[in-house]
Amino acid sequence: MLEGQMMDRSLLIIDILKHAAETYPAIEIVSRTVEGPVHRYGYRDAFKRTAQLAHALKGLGIEEGDRVATIAWNTYRHFELYYGVSGIGAVCHTINPRLFEDQLEYIVNHADDRVIFVDANLLPLVEKMDGRFPGVKAVIVMTDRAHMPETKLANVHCYEELLEGQPETYDWPELDERAASAMCYTSGTTGNPKGSLYSHRSTVLHAFGLLAPAVLPYGIGKAVLPVVPMFHVQAWGQPYAAPIAGTKLVMPGPKLDGESLFELMEDEGVTLTLGVPTIWMGLLTHLRETGKRFTHLTHLVSGGAAIPLSMIKAYEEEFGLNVVQGWGMTETSPVCCAGAEGPEMDGLEDDARHELKLRERKFFGVDLRLVDEDGGILPHDGDTPGELQCRGPWVINGYYNDAEATAAAMTDDGWFRTGDVATLTDAGLLQITDRTKDLIKSGGEWISSIDLENEVMSHPGVAEAAAIAMPHPKWQERPMLVIVAHEGKQPSANELRAHLADKIVSWWMPDDIAFVDELPHTATGKVSKLQLRERFKDHVLSTV
């Protein structure tokens, strides 16, 4: 091989913020804080505070490779943690505050988190878990002294006090770009949540992918507001992409209702926003009820679940926005496909154009293929559905410390099984049509059908149970339980609800519980969810 004569400089996360500090010092990060008021500062000040945080982390004894947990909303302090933790070579482990206690316990202990940074209003979550995280040495509340909540927890620190007086520069280590930088757990179909461990290289390349022209409008003079939480796959990469591009970053904090989002977007001149369809449904209702119109916003990105055609039409026709759909997963950093712009759109009438937007085109760097049940490769003809597999530099090659889940997810030839069923056109336009994984996605968050089934099966009147996803206009999907009662027993739906009440979090409670004499089964004896969904396809949930 004739080796190229180019410098081998690592792609490092901290260099993104260093670049923004040097190049776009005054371009702002604006946050609605947990305490209430809006906070603003430029990328240069963010970099200085990140250096202070790095010193504080060292003071807490955090070393390269250590996991540092965050349970926090989208704010500037969480942004500082993204960069400070990864910058010193530690791993920023973002945790979803909507998880329930057993999941939290598993995740924190499996990741072996050293410390937890938590927003003041989420502290009760950590307090409830007192004694269940033996490896956690300290809890840092992300606020100032004046807003520190009372707590009985030991080893609690105040974020602002830890930063106070620390030097505003830090000698950032020259890490290997393959070093782990961050991690995020996702729900498992069976068993425990599974961890995706990102690297500096994968994160920077993913940010470059987002910035590829023609996909999303970043740039100077633009402002992006990720409604998608920073605890959910790194806010889809926005905290990394925005500073590279000199784009203002607007953080909504804990207020995600339509009115608060609209107000912040208008006040801060937001041009691009990203979130799950449930959020866009709330915003749409608010806009329609109040007759408000955006003056700056041009692009609305929806991902995490299929966007309904009616929502694309509403935002485009009533509000003049460009709706862009994206597809991705926790395991894929997440974005692999976004937007359907391309020659296919030329000359299309509005209706056909909106329909095309139900698809999304793959990014450079990502390979996609469709596979049948025997592993045979299926055509990309826009019509034939198959299991979607992908590979690329920002796709996992295994789950953190979980050989069993890794073996199930990776193919022998190095592709990742997504558990989604999709069609692909010969021009790389993807559409998700179903999923093979036994999960229900409500408002962007996973509910495990198997966990629900197991919990309800512990009722003595239940012989067999199956949980299926049913369409819902607000939450996209809601769970429904289909029950076969034990002979001679006839538990009521209310009895089963009462039985579940102390076993699951409230948002997992099935909207409907139906009783049948028999469930359909596959040849291998498993409940055929496919047939069951077909059987209930005309059922309208009582909550709709």
71, 139 Cβ separation under 8 angstroms: no
Is 301 an interacting residue with respect to ligand AMP (CB under 6 A)? no
**Helix (H/G/I), strand (E/B), else coil: 235:** helix
The residue range among 324-332, 362-370, 400-408, 409-417 that interacts with ligand AMP, by the rule CB under 6 A, is 324-332
Q: In terms of CB distance, is 58 or 417 closer to ligand AMP?
A: 417
Q: Which of 113, 402, 420, 477 binds ligand AMP (CB under 6 A)?
A: 420
Give the residue among 390, 398, 438 at the shortest CA–CA distance from 417.
390
Cα–Cα distance for residue pair 77/60, rounded to 1 Å: 17
Catalytic one of 222, 248, 357, 441: 441
Sheet strands side by side (includes 248-251): 38-42, 28-32, 248-251, 223-226, 272-275, 299-302, 322-328, 335-338
365, 394 Cβ separation under 8 angstroms: yes
How many residues in total does the chain contain? 544
The residue range among 58-66, 80-88, 93-101, 299-307 that interacts with ligand AMP, by the rule CB under 6 A, is 299-307
Site string for ligand AMP, 103-132 (x = CB under 6 A): ------------------------------
331 in active site: yes
DSSP 3-state helix, strand, coil percentages of the chain (rounded to 5)? 30, 25, 40
Site string for ligand AMP, 184-223 (x = CB under 6 A): --x-------------------------------------
Cα–Cα distance for residue pair 60/408, rounded to 1 Å: 38
Query: Which residues are within 8 A (CB) of 114 and not within 5 positions of it... i.e. 6 or more apart?
Result: 60, 61, 62, 66, 67, 68, 135, 136, 137, 138
529 in active site: no
Least distance to ligand AMP from the beta carbon of 355, Å? 15
475 in active site: no
Q: Which DSSP symbol is given to 121? A: G
Cα–Cα distance for residue pair 266/244, rounded to 1 Å: 23
Give the residue among 227, 232, 281 at the shortest CA–CA distance from 251.
227
Q: In terms of CB distance, is 119 or 477 closer to ligand AMP?
A: 477
Is 477 an interacting residue with respect to ligand AMP (CB under 6 A)? no
Q: Which of 86, 199, 273, 325 binds ligand AMP (CB under 6 A)?
A: 325
Is 299 an interacting residue with respect to ligand AMP (CB under 6 A)? no
In this structure, which amino acid lies at residue 463?
A: A
Least distance to ligand AMP from the beta carbon of 266, Å? 27
Q: In terms of CB distance, is 327 or 363 closer to ligand AMP?
A: 327
Least distance to ligand AMP from the beta carbon of 526, Å? 20
Q: How far apart are the first and last CA of the chain?
A: 64
And the tokens for 139?
Answer: 């809890």
The residue range among 64-72, 264-272, 278-286, 297-305 that interacts with ligand AMP, by the rule CB under 6 A, is 297-305
Is 233 an interacting residue with respect to ligand AMP (CB under 6 A)? yes
Cα–Cα distance for residue pair 459/513, rounded to 1 Å: 14
Q: In terms of CB distance, is 226 or 304 closer to ligand AMP?
A: 304
Q: Which is it for strands 91-94 and 416-424: parallel, antiparallel or unpaired?
A: unpaired
Cα–Cα distance for residue pair 108/128, rounded to 1 Å: 14
Is 338 an interacting residue with respect to ligand AMP (CB under 6 A)? no
Catalytic one of 172, 280, 327, 446: 446
Site string for ligand AMP, 493-522 (x = CB under 6 A): ------------------------------
Is 435 an interacting residue with respect to ligand AMP (CB under 6 A)? yes
302, 326 Cβ separation under 8 angstroms: yes
Phi and psi of 185, rounded to 5°?
-95, 150
507 in active site: no
Is 94 an interacting residue with respect to ligand AMP (CB under 6 A)? no
Is 304 an interacting residue with respect to ligand AMP (CB under 6 A)? yes
CA distances to 35, 150, 195, 255, 418 from 124, rounded to whole Å, are 16, 10, 24, 18, 35
By rule CB under 6 A, what count of residues binds ligand AMP? 16
370, 425 Cβ separation under 8 angstroms: no
Q: Which of 14, 142, 432, 541 binds ligand AMP (CB under 6 A)?
A: 432
Least distance to ligand AMP from the beta carbon of 303, Å? 5
Q: Which residues sit at the interface with ligand AMP, rule CB under 6 A?
A: 186, 233, 303-306, 325, 327, 329-330, 334, 418, 420, 432, 435, 441
- The catalytic residues are 186, 331, 441, 446
